[in-house]
Amino acid sequence: MSPKVAYVLDVKSGNLQSLQNAIEKVGFEFTLIETAAELRAAIASEACQKLFLPGVGNFGHFMRQINQLELREPILEYIASGKALMGICVGLQALFNNSEETNNLHDENSDENGLKLINRTLKRFDDTEKSVPEIGWNSVIPAPGTEAAVQGKDLYGISESRKYYFVNSYASILSKEETELAKQGKATEITGLKDCEISLTTYGSETFVSAISKGNVFVTQFHPEKSGNAGLKIIEAFLNGNKYTPAVAIPEGVKVQHGFTRRVIACLDVRANDNGDLVVTKGDQYDVRERQVDGSGNPVRNLGKPVEMARKYYEQGADEVTFLNITSFRNSPIADLPMLEVLRQTSKSVFVPLTVGGGIRDIVDPSTGKLVSALDVASLYFRSGADKVSIGSDAVYAAEAYYARGEKGDGTSPLETISKAYGIQAVVVSVDPKRVYVESPEAAPANIKVIPTKYPGPNGEKYVWYQCTVKGGRESRPIGVYELVRAVEALGAGELLLNCIDKDGSNSGYDFELIDLAKSAVAIPVIASSGAGVPQHFVDVFEQTSADAALGAGMFHRGEYTVNEVKSELMKNGIATRNDVG
């Protein structure tokens, strides 16, 4: 029997915590390989039979890291040895010749070139018709004529009826002619794909290669470690050497909707209560204290324990879980060890993306008096199990500075430093705007985008602009949402979490005018937030806006509805969603 050990190559380009948790969850030990010497020793060792090559972020950076660590040759030697290799995301891309993501696409000697095992170039998705990056859940279908398709089996457990989590702006996109060839069962005739068994995914109008099995190498563009139980099955199948597994039976009456889905996110606002315990809370327009309590003041609303609630929502089918540490603008997150522990515990049992926000900025460590950079704070969150960090207040300051500099970054803001180090897909900007009503567009401050509103203000004002705030809505800033989101996209945000203080906790549905405004400004995905009160609100926001995801808090925390109920309502209304519980 082969030893139950998974080896993982650390190219020092991103965060391996989620993969470690997934490997341990399926009963294998996790062994990190950090140097060329260690990799060569692993090739020689009987104990090493399965190696992961995980990657996130920028292709050029990933390849440069491989070269700097002198790993290029040993990786090729490992593959030549015949032992099994599984690449994930940029770990798939590394097999290709090159990517449009690099600046040196045509330079034969560039240290950003791929391993050239697949003679193709990765291309960027067309962002005129869809959000880029692709962030979310999509189907992975074996190309017609491949062994898995012919046998009706699943390649390493990848099931057509399931969805998998993707985060990518670049992919091995097929041309129209290549897509046609693939449909005719001739995928091996496509340039570079001879000897490959491929699976395909469609995003917008583009079809790309989302998984490849070639000899002892198996690679996926999606993240199995973040794809719930469906993804854990793939990791398990790879580690157990089960190339073809019986196809997952689709229960009677269940209709599989193929394709990209809109996401449903459960959000947990977390803060210390008056006894110092971290609790999940929820406010009305950001006020999280109970009202009209006699005598002893207004305690923080306590809706439950963060780890337990996150697990519950995962089990109910939440596509992502977000924690917002809502008082860390006052406290230092590095002093907030319980929050780090919440992340550590949650990430061991929640295998969908975890985002954490609150207090991501340069700070002074209260225990040592030393400056800790926002990048270090983010790294601490990533090491504790977060997949993305969310920046609120500091992103507003960065956007203001961007305009003050004449629409330029200077590379020093937390938004820029974190997205440079971890990739834009790891950085969400959380926006906390308030409606400001005006009688006419001229009545608003200069250079602020004003829109007509269907919901006039208290004095009948027919126009509105959305003013950004910082410090949990306590301080308004002289910048509008439209201006802010354009700036943060340029500075390296990969996604927007679009709250709305007027709607927060109101149970009256999302603010579509705000969502349309943000979507018109950027190509990155937008998460609608604030105001969800019933499952129908999720249907409405997906039918009436192009929001990529929708987030709910109070309606889930108060136990009024479950995430499954939201998903059922979406399916009833023909909106593609991940139906993947269990």
Q: What is the DSSP string of 321-370?
A: EEEEETTTTTS-TTT-HHHHHHHHHHHHH--S-EEEES--S-EE-TTT--
Check if 432 is active-site. yes
Cβ distance to ligand 1PR smaller for residue 54 or 492: 492
Provide the minimum distance between the beta carbon of 533 and ligand 1PR in the complex, in angstroms, as a whole number: 7
Binder among 138, 139, 201, 393 for ligand 1PR (CB under 6 A): 393
Among the options 101, 112, 225, 495, which is catalytic?
225
Provide the minimum distance between the beta carbon of 335 and ligand 1PR in the complex, in angstroms, as a whole number: 14
Provide the minimum distance between the beta carbon of 560 and ligand 1PR in the complex, in angstroms, as a whole number: 10
Tell me the three state secondary structure of residue 83. coil
Among the options 154, 197, 206, 269, which is catalytic?
269
Provide the minimum distance between the beta carbon of 94 and ligand 1PR in the complex, in angstroms, as a whole number: 33
Tell me the three state secondary structure of residue 261. coil
Distance in angstroms (rounded) separating the CA atoms of residues 210 and 202: 9
Binding of residue 228 to ligand 1PR (CB under 6 A): no
Check if 225 is active-site. yes
Provide the minimum distance between the beta carbon of 520 and ligand 1PR in the complex, in angstroms, as a whole number: 22
- The binding track of 334-363 with respect to ligand 1PR, each residue x by CB under 6 A or -, is -----------------------xxxx---
Binding of residue 154 to ligand 1PR (CB under 6 A): no
Binder among 432, 483, 511, 548 for ligand 1PR (CB under 6 A): 432
Binder among 390, 419, 453, 562 for ligand 1PR (CB under 6 A): 390
Cβ distance to ligand 1PR smaller for residue 353 or 552: 552
Cβ distance to ligand 1PR smaller for residue 224 or 531: 531
Stretch 450-509 residues interacting with ligand 1PR (CB under 6 A):
472, 499, 504-505
Binding of residue 433 to ligand 1PR (CB under 6 A): no
DSSP 501: T
Which H or E run contains 291?
none
Binding of residue 279 to ligand 1PR (CB under 6 A): no
- Are the CB atoms for 386 and 352 separated by under 8 Å? no
Strands, DSSP E only, in 104-262?
118-124, 134-138, 141-142, 153-155, 164-168, 170-171, 197-203, 206-214, 217-220, 244-246
Which residue of this chain has its Cβ atom nearest to ligand 1PR in the complex? 472
Cβ distance to ligand 1PR smaller for residue 114 or 472: 472
> Would you put residue 356 in left (φ > 0), alpha (ψ -120 to 50) or beta?
beta
Tell me the three state secondary structure of residue 520. helix
DSSP 290: P
Cβ distance to ligand 1PR smaller for residue 114 or 525: 525
Contacts of residue 227, defined as CB under 8 A and 6 or more positions apart, other chains included, come to 137, 162, 163, 164, 165, 234, 351, 352
- Torsion on CA atoms 466, 472, 473, 477, rounded to nearest 10: -70
Binding of residue 267 to ligand 1PR (CB under 6 A): yes
Distance in angstroms (rounded) separating the CA atoms of residues 305 and 314: 14
Q: Which of 393, 384, 381 is nearest to 418 (CA)?
A: 381
Provide the minimum distance between the beta carbon of 310 and ligand 1PR in the complex, in angstroms, as a whole number: 13
In Å, how far are 229, 316, 569 from 582, measured between CA atoms? 7, 9, 19
Provide the minimum distance between the beta carbon of 408 and ligand 1PR in the complex, in angstroms, as a whole number: 23
Distance in angstroms (rounded) separating the CA atoms of residues 231 and 42: 26
Cβ distance to ligand 1PR smaller for residue 56 or 288: 288
Distance in angstroms (rounded) separating the CA atoms of residues 336 and 341: 9
Token code pair at residue 298: 């207004």
- Are the CB atoms for 19 and 353 separated by under 8 Å? no
Stretch 521-580 residues interacting with ligand 1PR (CB under 6 A):
529-532, 551-554
Distance in angstroms (rounded) separating the CA atoms of residues 203 and 496: 20
Widest CA span in the chain: 78
Strand partners, 434: 467
Provide the minimum distance between the beta carbon of 283 and ligand 1PR in the complex, in angstroms, as a whole number: 4
Tell me the three state secondary structure of residue 436. strand
Provide the minimum distance between the beta carbon of 436 and ligand 1PR in the complex, in angstroms, as a whole number: 18
Cβ distance to ligand 1PR smaller for residue 282 or 519: 282
Count of residues near ligand 1PR by CB under 6 A: 33
Binder among 197, 236, 269, 548 for ligand 1PR (CB under 6 A): 269
Among the options 223, 416, 483, 502, which is catalytic?
223
Stretch 408-427 residues interacting with ligand 1PR (CB under 6 A):
none
Cβ distance to ligand 1PR smaller for residue 225 or 511: 511
Distance in angstroms (rounded) separating the CA atoms of residues 78 and 76: 5
Among the options 10, 48, 61, 89, which is catalytic?
89
Strand partners, 428: 390, 495
Stretch 116-135 residues interacting with ligand 1PR (CB under 6 A):
none
Token code pair at residue 397: 């300051």
Binder among 65, 430, 467, 562 for ligand 1PR (CB under 6 A): 430
Among the options 432, 495, 502, 548, which is catalytic?
432
| Burial letters 395-422, b for 16+ CB under 10 A, else e | bbbbbbbbeeeeeebeeebbbbbbbbbb
Provide the minimum distance between the beta carbon of 494 and ligand 1PR in the complex, in angstroms, as a whole number: 15
Cβ distance to ligand 1PR smaller for residue 176 or 330: 330
Cβ distance to ligand 1PR smaller for residue 112 or 336: 336
Sign of CA dihedral 452, 456, 461, 464: negative
- Which residues are known catalytic residues? 89, 223, 225, 269, 432
Instruction: Note the residues at the interface with ligand 1PR (CB under 6 A).
Output: 267, 269, 282-283, 286, 288, 324, 326, 328-329, 357-360, 390-394, 430, 432, 472, 499, 504-505, 529-532, 551-554
